[in-house]
């Protein structure tokens, strides 16, 4: 018998849960795109987005998903034949590198595997070896949503500086923005890409590229730039329509405005602290389950784990079995294992992911953890006891 009827919970790492306020803000007839409220709210959205990214640089909005934002960032910086270094810590780093390669950028990769963050000593050595400074950019993903690793971007900037290398630092914060602490200017990031559907709690469909004056200098010579993806008219529009290269994404903008209101009310530091607390509850539960049986956190070091998403190794096929059971029986959908395949398990079926980014609170996380606990029991997957007690303590202690 299923107890699945009721509010469904999509606990995957994006699209994340949308607040009622965001949904309500979008439920309206088509607005005037030439004058009036829509124009006014875009004037407020731009500075607030920059505050969320902690930058005094520029922000461009595109009507696209995260992949579109990836491409926008690449074409404004590179020419065919340019060299770049990708520091890959999971599937998304490889995806961005593949795209750059397809555009004609020569991407050198350092692959840190699926269970570890960027090793800064290796990065520094690679940069010192590039004595001609032919690498135009160092690229990485802040939180790789496949592995749930979180990289230390501030320390990465310090490694670039120690090596005395002038490459741009380009970072994908699609999963981490407004979830894990991130300070674009203080950490010396030149280009940052993000999207609307994760920490920003708005439907998929808006891509953001933030960039520094140094990155904009490269735009001067970027041979790959095309009219639609050019970031310049979007940050210095002479006409309103240039913000979006055409018709504005009207309803997304209303939704984003409502999401930014929620973010401002709560405050960035409080948002970061909430996500840290929720993540600790998830980790405590998985650690308890892992005391006996196959479950384990993919990232061993808590300092290198994201607060947005947790990748759990569950043993051959158990990830998929649990996901199927939870969605059919409990009304909770977990994220699939992504790029976590091994020789033993070629389809990543042995992993699942819990998204805890965005508009998520304690009862939602406890509901997911309780559902996983029920699934482990129903499916006879061996596990340690006390997971929910451990999560309760992580949520309740001060
Ligand atoms: C979700 C995600 C992407 C891809 O975004 P899409 O909107 O699916 O194109 C890229 N990088 C990271 C880190 C992500 O979490």
**Helical H runs in 103-249?**
120-129, 153-162, 213-219, 232-235
**What confidence tier does 341 reach under pLDDT thresholds 50, 70, 90?**
confident
Cα(35)–Cα(21) distance, rounded to whole angstroms?
24
Q: Which atom of ligand 1 is nearest to the CA of 65?
A: 7
Evaluate whether 181 touches 272 at the Cβ level (below 8 Å). Answer: yes
Residue 145 CB less than 6 A away from ligand 1? yes
In the DSSP assignment, the letter for residue 131 is T
Residue 193 CB less than 6 A away from ligand 1? no
Cα(183)–Cα(269) distance, rounded to whole angstroms?
12
Binding-site positions for substrate = 353
Cis upstream peptide for 15 (omega within 30°):
yes
- Strand pairing partners for 334? 11
Share of the chain above pLDDT 90, in %: 96
Tokens of 35: 């004058």
Q: Which atom of ligand 1 is nearest to the CA of 207?
A: 7
**What confidence tier does 142 reach under pLDDT thresholds 50, 70, 90?**
very high
Summarize pLDDT for 262-280 with one digit per residue, the tens.
999 999 999 999 999 999 9
Query: pTM, whole model, 2 decimals?
Result: 0.98
Cα(365)–Cα(282) distance, rounded to whole angstroms?
7
C-alpha angle 72-269-141 in degrees, rounded to nearest 5: 30
Summarize pLDDT for 165-190 with one digit per residue, the tens.
999 999 999 999 999 999 999 999 99
Residue nearest to atom 12 of ligand 1 (CA): 174
Residue 89 CB less than 6 A away from ligand 1? no
Residue nearest to atom 3 of ligand 1 (CA): 66
Evaluate whether 99 touches 159 at the Cβ level (below 8 Å). Answer: no
Q: Tell me how far the alpha carbon of residue 254 lies from the centroid of ligand 1, in angstroms.
A: 22
Summarize pLDDT for 22-61 with one digit per residue, the tens.
999 999 999 999 999 999 999 999 999 999 999 999 999 9
- Among 195, 205, 339, 355, the mutation site with the greatest number of ligand 1 atoms within 8 A of its Cβ is 195
Place of tokens 């990769």: 109
**What confidence tier does 340 reach under pLDDT thresholds 50, 70, 90?**
confident
The contacts of residue 29 (CB under 8 Å, 6+ apart) are none
Q: Tell me how far the alpha carbon of residue 174 lies from the centroid of ligand 1, in angstroms.
A: 6
Residue 93 CB less than 6 A away from ligand 1? no
Residue 12 CB less than 6 A away from ligand 1? no
224 pLDDT above the threshold of 80: yes
From residue 380, give the alpha-carbon distance in Å to each of 162, 291, 330, 334, 361: 52, 15, 17, 19, 29
Q: Cα 246 from chain centroid?
A: 27
**What confidence tier does 345 reach under pLDDT thresholds 50, 70, 90?**
confident
344 pLDDT above the threshold of 80: no
What are the extents of the domains in the chain?
9-16+268-396, 31-264
Calculate mean pLDDT across residues 210-218. Answer: 98
Neighbours of 311 (CB within 10 A): 32
Neighbours of 363 (CB within 10 A): 9
Please report the pLDDT score of residue 397 as a whole number. 86
342 pLDDT above the threshold of 90: no
Q: Tell me how far the alpha carbon of residue 25 lies from the centroid of ligand 1, in angstroms.
A: 24
Q: Each residue of 204-213: b (16+ CB within 10 Å) or e?
A: bbbbbbbbbe
| Domains 9-16+268-396 and 31-264 are alike in CATH topology | no
Neighbours of 97 (CB within 10 A): 23
Residue 310 CB less than 6 A away from ligand 1? no
Cα(395)–Cα(398) distance, rounded to whole angstroms?
8
109 pLDDT above the threshold of 80: yes
User: 260 burial class (0-12, 13-18, 19+ CB within 10 angstroms)?
Assistant: buried
**Helical H runs in 63-132?**
66-75, 91-102, 120-129
- Among 12, 92, 95, the mutation site with the greatest number of ligand 1 atoms within 8 A of its Cβ is 92
Cα(381)–Cα(375) distance, rounded to whole angstroms?
8
Tokens of 2: 């299923």
Neighbours of 152 (CB within 10 A): 16
Share of the chain above pLDDT 70, in %: 100
Please report the pLDDT score of residue 1 as a whole number. 78
Q: Tell me how far the alpha carbon of residue 373 lies from the centroid of ligand 1, in angstroms.
A: 28
Cα(108)–Cα(326) distance, rounded to whole angstroms?
41
Q: What is the CATH number of domain 31-264?
A: 3.40.640.10
Mean pLDDT across the chain, nearest whole number? 97
Q: Tell me how far the alpha carbon of residue 264 lies from the centroid of ligand 1, in angstroms.
A: 24
Domain formed by 9-16+268-396, architecture: Alpha-Beta Complex (3.90)
Smallest CA-to-CA distance from 65 within 207, 259, 276 is with 207
Cα(38)–Cα(255) distance, rounded to whole angstroms?
12
Tokens of 61: 């909005």
């Amino acid at each position: 018998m299923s107890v699945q009827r009721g509010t469904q919970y999509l606990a995957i790492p994006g699209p994340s849960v949308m607040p009622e306020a965001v949904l309500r803000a979008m439920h309206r007839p088509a607005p005037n795109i030439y004058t009036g409220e829509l124009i006014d709210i875009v004037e407020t959205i731009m500075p607030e987005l920059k505050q969320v990214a902690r930058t005094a640089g520029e922000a461009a909005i595109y009507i696209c998903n995260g992949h579109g934002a990836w491409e926008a960032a690449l074409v404004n910086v590179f020419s065919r034949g340019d060299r770049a270094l990708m520091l890959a810590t999971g599937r998304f780093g490889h995806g961005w590198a593949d795209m750059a390669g397809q555009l004609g950028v020569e991407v050198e990769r350092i692959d840190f595997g699926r269970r570890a963050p960027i090793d800064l000593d290796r990065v520094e050595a690679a940069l010192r070896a590039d004595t001609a400074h032919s690498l135009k950019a160092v690229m990485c993903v802040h939180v790789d949503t496949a592995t749930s690793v979180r990289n230390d971007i501030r320390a990465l900037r310090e490694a670039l500086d120690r090596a005395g290398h002038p490459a741009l630092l380009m970072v994908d914060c699609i999963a981490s923005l407004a979830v894990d602490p991130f300070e674009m200017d203080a950490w010396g990031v030149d280009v940052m890409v993000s999207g609307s559907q994760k920490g920003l709690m708005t439907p998929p469909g808006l891509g953001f590229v933030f960039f520094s004056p140094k990155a904009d200098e490269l735009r001067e010579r970027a041979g790959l730039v095309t009219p639609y993806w050019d970031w310049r008219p979007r940050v210095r529009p002479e006409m309103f329509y240039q913000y979006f290269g055409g018709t504005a994404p009207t309803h997304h903008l209303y939704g984003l405005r409502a999401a930014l209101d929620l973010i401002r009310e709560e405050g960035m530091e409080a948002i970061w602290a909430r996500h840290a607390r929720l993540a600790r509850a998830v980790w405590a539960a998985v650690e308890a389950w892992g005391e006996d049986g196959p479950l384990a956190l993919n990232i061993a070091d808590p300092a290198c784990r994201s607060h947005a998403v947790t990748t759990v190794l569950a043993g051959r096929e158990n990830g998929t079995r649990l996901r199927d059971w939870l969605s059919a029986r409990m009304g909770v959908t977990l994220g699939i294992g992504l790029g976590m395949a091994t020789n033993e398990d070629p389809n990543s079926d042995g992993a699942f992911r819990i998204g805890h980014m965005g508009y998520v609170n304690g009862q939602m996380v406890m509901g997911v953890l309780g559902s996983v606990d029920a699934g482990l029991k129903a499916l006879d997957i061996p596990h340690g006891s006390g997971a929910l007690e451990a999560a309760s303590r992580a949520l309740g202690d001060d």
